[in-house]
Structure 1
């Protein structure tokens, strides 16, 4: 086998003293994957490891990679992703993936915390109440997308406008207003949820624009897409790249 020194060193940082069983059963595959994912990809640009692993966890949620998610929680922890950040990534995923797809990942984070003697429940991160979640959500939408969102919660056809109302009070009021992640990080993980699940290009384009508006530049988003390729493959990555490349850089 010829796993590069850099790949071995990065793997050791993620998983200290751990040897994959696949080294015995699939040595050629591990050589190919580790050299690509943990040398060529991670050393291609200057994206910091903390951001890289936040994006990877969100991407694995989006593509429903539960087994790899459980593994990468360990790597994320060793690169400084906190249990609160792990939980916030999972919580916000419900708004974009639904509880039917997210529940196993919530259990995975809880199991990780228990295995590492992290006391549950974690400190609460909510900043809203039933009474103010709509207004707080409206303000979050304006902060992220701009002034045109002031009355978004009132918009839509009579028989479906309640969904826009829910987007404001639930998606943004309940989740985006929480502590633990800032707006830039929350838009980053939303971008990753959408690019990884595929078939959401209109929403992906909208949230790519929101990322740019908040300061997550096109160049930054391309770095994120690049880091996610080993985990979701090329077709969805190329679709996401197209959504980003068609954006105007100005706000």
Structure 2
């Protein structure tokens, strides 16, 4: 068995890196905002079957009935009465269906009474002034407004007074509706440019507009999205803005792409220092631990590998973080595995990625899922795992194989009973992988995870570590190593800490795999130490670099 143990001297004198605990987080769309976009797009396009799904998802995400009604009413000003009315009729059907299931949706508040007694045209001008940030004086004397003064009056009095004056939605939310509709129907680039400018004025970020376009691309079409991207680039360039950031010479861009289940997966794409847009690069997908998000250890590893010359992609798994997927916080092994292939889909089509040189790093639970993905996705040319967890074995037998068969059967009975209760409308039961407060009975392993996920060291608001109780059943049914031998002749690297209680998962996988394979042990390191501790990453990062440089050619 090829088992490599570094000496403490090499750890001290080896590859020295500066570790950033967190990458700067962009302010991105909330789940409610994402649903405003898809509801607007499908209403404008008249795709009522898809609209029905998104209306349900919007209510589940926390949109009130009145907020959705307001979206559907506003759309008539941009897509016409027929589209708006069909959207409202579809929404009525959805509400009736949910009521029949015993779901009592939150209607939310009504619009506040209008107390301003001024002429509606003047009120509309004032609202437009707030949107543009510039005082609107008098009546326009050129363009369409001069040619057709009637429509100018309708715009000010009805759109900006009657509609925008209603405070059920914020100005930012109304601009999201408008930009979503204009992007979806296409061919109205001057109006889209105007409303993208208004969006920026009312607090929508360039990143949010970019994500909005990505959502339209996934749900409506690439042509519509490409046209909108061109408009957005023009708008941002005119304002000296960008949708990317730089960290240690690495450019980071927010991206999104769909998986096979049409779930929107959101990631951060990292470009190496001195990035040359005329070249193609080896690329690495980095998958986060169970309960984690891309802003934690997977993002840190993506950043560090990009600094070493790779294009890297850290993504949020479906149902977690900024990615889509409903219900939220459920663990679906099939979907988790699919997300890796979707990431490879994305990179394979990137103009600066060598599609024959794509590797994967899976961390903790993401490691087990990445092994499963590599068995069925031959585009993954090299696979490395860090502190890998076999989530199936862990849920069947517990950490250290301490759960008996009888205990497992009892849990499955409880899961079945819980599913029955939830089907008839009783509350969902969630469990937390990491406690929010430590007790004197917690193990050293639990305390180690707590130190990362519940403190400033690695804590992130998108990482709740909670998931549905019923997720335990499909996790128990997950066997990631059943055909691990089929990964050969592609190489496998398992990196573990000498003190990691999870090391036996990687040792099991290593023993079942065939060459080329390597088990690399970092002296003194625990499971979570390899997430971010500089003294241990000083050993793991050079190993990862040499591994991928050898095999991603």
Q: Is TM more than 0.5 here? A: yes
Structure 1: gaps (5+ residues): 1-44
| Matched residue, 2:154 | 166
1:115 to partner: Cα distance: 3.0
Alignment partners' CA distance in 1, 2:200 and 2:133:
12
2:219 aligned with 1:231: yes
**Structure 2 residue matching 1:149: 3-state secondary structure:** coil
Pairwise CA RMSD of aligned residues? Answer: 2.7
**Structure 1 residue matching 2:239: 3-state secondary structure:** coil
Residues 76 and 93 (structure 1), Cα distance of their counterparts in 2 relative to 1, 3 Å cut: same
Residues 154 and 139 (structure 1), Cα distance of their counterparts in 2 relative to 1, 3 Å cut: farther
Contact kept, 8 Å, 2:109 with 2:168, in 1: the verdict is no
2:235 aligned with 1:249: no
Deviations 1:136-164 (A, max 9, x none): 21111000023253334676665511211
| Matched residue, 2:123 | 136
Residues 116 and 153 (structure 1), Cα distance of their counterparts in 2 relative to 1, 3 Å cut: farther
Higher helix proportion:
1
Mark the structure with the bigger radius of gyration.
2
Contact kept, 8 Å, 2:79 with 2:181, in 1: the verdict is yes
2:100 aligned with 1:100: no
Deviations 1:29-88 (A, max 9, x none): xxxxxxxxxxxxxxxx95321111111111112222211101111111111111111101
2:134 aligned with 1:147: yes
Contact kept, 8 Å, 1:59 with 1:232, in 2: the verdict is yes
Contact kept, 8 Å, 1:212 with 1:249, in 2: the verdict is no
TM-score (norm 2): 0.35
Query: Comparing 144-153 with 193-202, which one deviates more in the overlay?
Result: 144-153
Give the 5 Å matches for 1:65-144. Answer: 65-117=47-99, 124-125=110-111, 127-128=113-114, 132-144=119-131
Contact kept, 8 Å, 1:63 with 1:197, in 2: the verdict is yes
Higher strand proportion:
2
Residues 125 and 103 (structure 1), Cα distance of their counterparts in 2 relative to 1, 3 Å cut: same
1:205 to partner: Cα distance: 0.6
Alignment partners' CA distance in 2, 1:231 and 1:85:
22
Contact kept, 8 Å, 1:194 with 1:200, in 2: the verdict is yes
| Matched residue, 1:36 | none
Contact kept, 8 Å, 1:153 with 1:165, in 2: the verdict is no
RCO higher in structure (CA 8 A, sep ≥6): 1
1:100 to partner: Cα distance: 2.1
| Matched residue, 2:192 | 204
Deviations 1:225-244 (A, max 9, x none): 11222211100001011110
Deviations 1:79-115 (A, max 9, x none): 1111111101001101111102221101112222333
Alignment partners' CA distance in 2, 1:192 and 1:199:
13
**Structure 1 residue matching 2:153: 3-state secondary structure:** helix
TM-score (norm 1): 0.74
May I ask how many residue pairs the two structures share in their alignment? Answer: 207
Alignment partners' CA distance in 1, 2:92 and 2:182:
24
